[in-house]
Structure formats: structure tokens, C-alpha cells
Amino acid sequence: MALARLIYVSRMTEECDMESLHKILTVSRRNNLARGITGVLFYDPKFFLQCLEGPVEVVNELYANILLDGRHTRVTLLEYHDTDRRLFGSWAMAFLRLNELTPDMMAQAGCSGRFDPFSLGSEEARNFLVAIVGQRQAQLESQKEK
């Protein structure tokens, strides 16, 4: 089956409080599990950086919904690629926050200094997500679906 990997960055709106964030995660994990979507959502108090991977049509449809979601704005596509390999296949949606990462971990993931995810290229964004998920592997174990 043709798979797509999509990575975008966005800025949270004031509409998105902690309760909304909790809801996003709960709904995402439920929907994604049912639809064959896997991925990671990285959150800093201002931004989201998310990777979605799954069947092309399902990813496209989900992204169209995400674009319309009022809890974030400036949704900016960083990567859209077909692939035969999932990078985050164990998680319906792994969740990571910036404050879980030390400056050293950020530097090892290719981001030193002030973090501006809007300035990332597609490869940088992908490598960054792979690196931080790798660094937090033990903590993310409990979020695995399979």
C-alpha cells in the first residue's frame, strides 16, 4: 500500500489551552489507530511540529482537516513524501515536549540556540524528530500502541 509521510509546523493559537492539547492527543490517538496513521507530535509552548505517516489518501484527508483546525495557525508544510517505511510505526501519536529535552539533546538533534521550527528544511525536520524520539525512547515506551 502506498504510504505518505507528511511533516508540518504550526503556531498554536490562544484557543489552544492545556485542555485542548489533551483533547487533540486523545482524539488523534483514537482516530489514528483506527485509520492506520502513526507519527509524532512535538510541542513547544508556541509551536507544533508533527509527522503523520500512513496510507496516502488517509494522510491527505487528515491534513486537510488539520489545516482548518482553529487551535493552530500558520500551518506550514515541511515535507510530503511517499515512502515504504514508517519512522514512527509504533505510535498512533507519540507526544514530546520541548521542556523534556536538555540543550545538549537539542544540539545532538541538530538544533542549537533558539529553536525555530519554521526555519527547518524537510530533512532537518525529519532528522530532528527521529533524533528526539530516539533520545526519549525509554519514556515513549508507555505511549506505544503495538
Ligand X SMILES: Cc1cc2nc3c(=O)[nH]c(=O)nc-3n(C[C@H](O)[C@H](O)[C@H](O)COP(=O)(O)O)c2cc1C
| Site residues, ligand X (CB under 6 A) | 24, 27-28, 31-32, 41, 48, 50, 52, 62, 65-66, 69, 71-72, 93
Shortest Å distance, C-beta 112 to ligand X: 25
Nearer to ligand X, 69 or 100 (CB): 69
CB of 108 to ligand X, least distance (A): 25
The SS3 call for residue 42 is strand
For the chain, where are the alpha helices, taking DSSP H only?
18-35, 56-67, 103-108, 122-135, 137-140
Place of cell 525536520: 125
Nearest residue to 45 via CA among 98, 103, 110:
98
Residue for grid cell 511533516: 7
Strand partners, 81: 5
Task: Find the shortest distance in angstroms from Cβ 104 to ligand X.
Answer: 27
| Closer of 50 and 135 to ligand X (Cβ) | 50
Shortest distance, position 134 Cβ to ligand X, whole Å: 21
Please state whether beta strands 72-83 and 47-55 pair in parallel, antiparallel, or not at all (unpaired): unpaired
Nearer to ligand X by Cβ, of 104 and 145: the residue is: 145
Residue number with CB closer to ligand X (71 or 86): 71
Partners of residue 47 on adjacent β-strands: 11
